[in-house]
Structure 1
Amino acid sequence: MNDTARIREHMEVIGADGVHVGTVDGVEGERIKLTKKDSGEGRHEGHHHYIPLSLVAEVEGDRVRLSANSDVAVMFEEEKSDPV
């Protein structure tokens, strides 16, 4: 079974370095949708961010571990504005 098929809502997403990147809100297509609470501050606040499934190294327990360190993984994040 492909590890990405085991990704579920509320799982923690961590970088290869073990640092928190976000919390899974769901999987949409080939991307993990992160919860808004992990969206950051300023212009990033209140938006969903997405991580490509191609960055998933493994799913272990209630965590999704990425193949990139957290500081690199956030550079791959995509952002989507939600309607007000």
Structure 2
Amino acid sequence: MSNIGSIREHMEVIGADGAHVGTVDRVEGDRIKLTKKDSGEGAHQGHHHYIATALVAEIEGDRVRLSANGDVAVTFEEEADRKPV
């Protein structure tokens, strides 16, 4: 796993396939908090989602690459109370 401490605000989070997953708001404990603008649609719109730092494969410049493809990674997103989205 890459150095989680090097993850910064506004970095793009991408899947292993390069697909956009979200944008970093900040790191909170063992999770990356994504910005609200990447929160999806419907009931999931307008609030933060989280991705576990355990999914981080590497840091590439201003991008956080996950170990899962983008379409799979979004299924691992959590709400603030750790319930899956």
Which protein has the bigger strand share?
1
Deviations 1:25-69 (A, max 9, x none): 000000000000000111000110000000000001000000000
Tell whether 2:18 aligns with 1:29: no
Q: Which runs of 5 or more residues in structure 2 are unaligned?
A: none
What is aligned with 2:75?
75
Aligned residues: 80
RMSD: 1.2
Distance 2:67 2:14 in 1: 9
Runs of 4+ residues deviating >4 angstroms: none
TM-score (normalizing by structure 1): 0.91
TM-score (normalizing by structure 2): 0.90
Distance 2:55 2:17 in 1: 13
Larger CA Rg, structure 1 vs 2: 1
